[in-house]
Amino acid sequence: MSVSGPRFFAVKVTVGQERNVARIVEGRITPDFKGIYTILVLPDIRGYIFIEAESKEKVSMITQGIRHVKGRPIMVVKKDELMPHLIEKPVIETISLGDIVEIISGPLQGISGKVVRVDKPKNEVTIEPSDAAFPLPISVPADQVRVTKSKEVR
């Protein structure tokens, strides 16, 4: 089976040690060692790092002897399977009614409150500040807020 060009390989590692293993692998890549192109650590896929390389043997050689690499076979992963994890979701998609958010920029920075409306076309959320004496809805751009506590049931 001959496949032209580099492929992605999944390497099983200890959960929580993905970044450390990636740094060690990066440190092992020298100008003499060719064939490793990319090292990916995806935050929503724990216990694996992904290495783009010419062959499985190159990945095996570069990860050999690293403490947190598991002794499982290295698997080929299709690029199509990784793409959904590489595309960043807009902030507005992660915010829902009832979430507690904090304003992180602008003149109202530091105010936190409950989301009472999400306006996706305008990319805007309306919050009621939790420390206000009476309900005072404030509309701010979605990229100026950070979710501090998600509503339990979605």
Q: What percent of the chain has pLDDT over 90?
A: 58
Tell me which DSSP letter residue 61 carries.
H
Predicted pLDDT of residue 131:
85
End-to-end CA distance of the chain: 46
Predicted pLDDT of residue 43:
83
Is the separation of the CB atoms in 98 and 114 below 8 Å? yes
The yes-or-no verdict on residue 69 having pLDDT over 60 is: yes
**Sign (positive or negative) of CA dihedral 20, 25, 28, 31:** negative
Residue 85, CA distances (Å) to 41, 55, 62, 80 in order: 10, 23, 24, 10
Please name the CATH architecture into which domain 91-149 falls: Roll (2.30)
What confidence tens digit (pLDDT) does each residue in 132-144 have? Answer: 888 889 999 998 9
12 pLDDT tier (thresholds 50, 70, 90): very high
Q: What CATH topology corresponds to 7-86?
A: Alpha-Beta Plaits (3.30.70)
Delimit the domains of the chain by residue range.
7-86, 91-149
Beta bridge partners of 36: 53
The yes-or-no verdict on residue 72 having pLDDT over 90 is: no
Residue type, 34: K
